[in-house]
Structure 1
Amino acid sequence: MTFTQTDLNDFNLLGKFCSQRDITELTSQSLNNKYGFPQADVYVLFGGSILYGVDILAKAIQNKIAKKYIIVGGYGHTTATLQQTVQNAYPDIPAKNMQEAEIFAALLKKRFGLEVDFLETASTNCGNNITYLLELLKDKQIDFHSIILSQDATMQKRMAACLQKYVASDVTIINYAVYQTNLVMKQTHLAFDQKFLGLWQPERYQNLLMGEIPRLRDDKTGYGPNGKGFIAHVDIPWEILSAYERLHQKYPDLTRPGDPKYLF
């Protein structure tokens, strides 16, 4: 499929909106500059991310960005792809028999010799990623007032909005999407402007992005308080909604429908 530059600009607008990063880098200085503290209470990597999430997690640990480190993820709509990717790249890791959090923990140990404090392996979607995380924090008696979330670029905005629904307003939620990228046309094929370990195929990335905007909308069909009530209200700028509508009208088959097994 060939896309115009206008199409690519629209996809990249959606990508920039969804892949929120509240600090420029995972360092104490960046945290201190913006929030006035050098270390967050908790850092969480979510298993819905690509493999490059392990690199980001390792950097967070090495930079002592938080007091506690957690990987969250059971079996969701991206798990089969993750398992296959890891099986191909690291045949000695029995990924086919592992949950997302276990896979990322194994990769973290193998590639960096590092470990996290806790794993959450029962969740299947964005919603119970958060509720099970909160249950784990309560069970382990981890009091937190600041938390860094790292999720796949396509799902970062929704993950933070979900957490916002459940925590007090004085909890500082800090977004740091695992990656940020742009789509480009290279001769006749669609590609990314930079590479990351385990990055989706461009068509899959488009599909994930196009599925996010309807979910983030706070209307009767969206996930916000005026719809399904899964997440807190998200302000979506008109240029993002316009970009989505243009793409949806032109490429209606690219919008990812919700899988009933993994809603939401």
Structure 2
Amino acid sequence: MILSQAVNQLAQFCGPRDLSSLTKQALQTEQGLEQVDVLAFFGGSILAGGDQLAEAIRNKIAKTYVIVGGAGHTTDGLRQQVRDHFPQLDPSGLTEAEIFQAYLEQKYGLSADLLETQSTNCGNNVTFLLDLLAEKGIDFQSILLMQDATMQRRMWATMKKYAADKLLLNYASYQVTVKEENGQLHFDNAPFGMWGMDCYLSLLLGEIPRLRDDEEGYGPRGANYLAHIDIPEEAQASYQLVQEKTGLTSRKANPKYAG
């Protein structure tokens, strides 16, 4: 397997989608639903995720839309993207949820129904979201989760720990592939606000150790932050190959954002 194939295979595992598009037709045909009860968009995403959220709101695929995210390890990068592309918006001091709400309003004239602005990591992204829904009296049986493609599967597994009896649907906020030219990796059609390549690879590499259900992972036999999931052999092999060929290490958890 060549490096670009390994990266793309790892990305495909980390960033699943359970719908072919953010439309009522896809939701009805593929999941048998007219609408999901809640769409939760997580602020760890790149800016392109905000465009997907806007599409979902326009298409009325959910009854309630929530943006989740205080300040965490991706926040500074998100703030810089806003400064670069929307100089009229000042993201200083804003949480991820507030930034994406401002992005929606500025670019599309849209807004989410609720913001969760206190969470700092995937674990309390979920628990604080559930607390907010309970506080607002929003009972749900189905929820569509939208997170950065590197972290989508982990977000789903975290929600599954706390809401295993609900219908949990994935929709990674973007899909991207890489190709190799002259010994260098490049993005095919990089989405808006895409991470730099080394950052993207580091984020992907950080997921497999976290998703493992062993003493060092986040599964029930480790930190117990998320439900058990099976990691296919091909994803494990891709992880090893990317790590070996790039010399990059997995992103380490920042204790500043621990729950």
Give TM-score, length-normalised by structure 2: 0.96
Structure 1 counterpart of 2:186, from 170, 187, 191: 191
Q: How much identity, in percent, do the aligned residues show?
A: 49
- Compared CA separation, residues 232 and 187, structure 1 to 2 (3 A): same
1:56 to 46, 52, 55: 52
1:226-245 paired onto structure 2 within 5 Å:
226-245=221-240
Tell me the distance in 1 between the aligned counterparts of 2:213 and 2:170. Answer: 20
Displacement of 1:187: 4.1
3-state SS of paired residue (1:179)? coil
Q: Specify every segment of 5 or more residues in structure 1 that has no aligned partner in the other structure, as ranges.
A: none
C-alpha separation between the residues in 2 aligned to 1:21 and 1:186? 28
Kept in 2, the 8 Å contact 1:87–1:96? The answer is no
Confirm or deny: 8 A CA contact 1:108 1:115 kept in the other structure.
yes
- 1:41 paired with 2:41, answer no
Work out whether 1:174 is the aligned partner of 2:169: yes
2:70 match: 74
CA RMSD between the two structures: 1.3
What's 1:94 paired with? 90
Matches within 5 A, 1:216-255: 216-255=211-250
1:252 Cα shift? 4.4
1:212, distance to aligned residue in structure 2 (A)? 0.4
Change (3 A) 1:205 1:40: same
Hey, what does 1:156 align to over in structure 2? 152
| Secondary structure class of the residue paired with 1:97 | coil
Report the equivalent of 2:255.
260
Q: For 2:150, give the aligned amino acid.
A: T
1: CA distance, partners of 2:189 / 2:22: 20
Deviations 1:178-237 (A, max 9, x none): 011111124454211112110101111001000000000111100001111000011111
> In structure 1, how many angstroms separate the alpha carbons of the residues matched to 2:103 and 2:202?
26
**What is the rounded CA distance, in whole Å, between the counterparts of 1:104 and 1:233 in structure 2?**
31
Amino acid paired to 1:176: Y
Distance in 2 separating the partners of 1:43 and 1:245: 34
User: 1:57-85 deviations in whole A, cap 9, x for unaligned?
Assistant: 11001100000001000000000011111
Please give the alpha-carbon distance, in whole angstroms, between the structure 1 residues aligned to 2:25 and 2:84: 38
1:243 Cα deviation (Å)? 1.5
More deviation, 246-255/223-232? 246-255
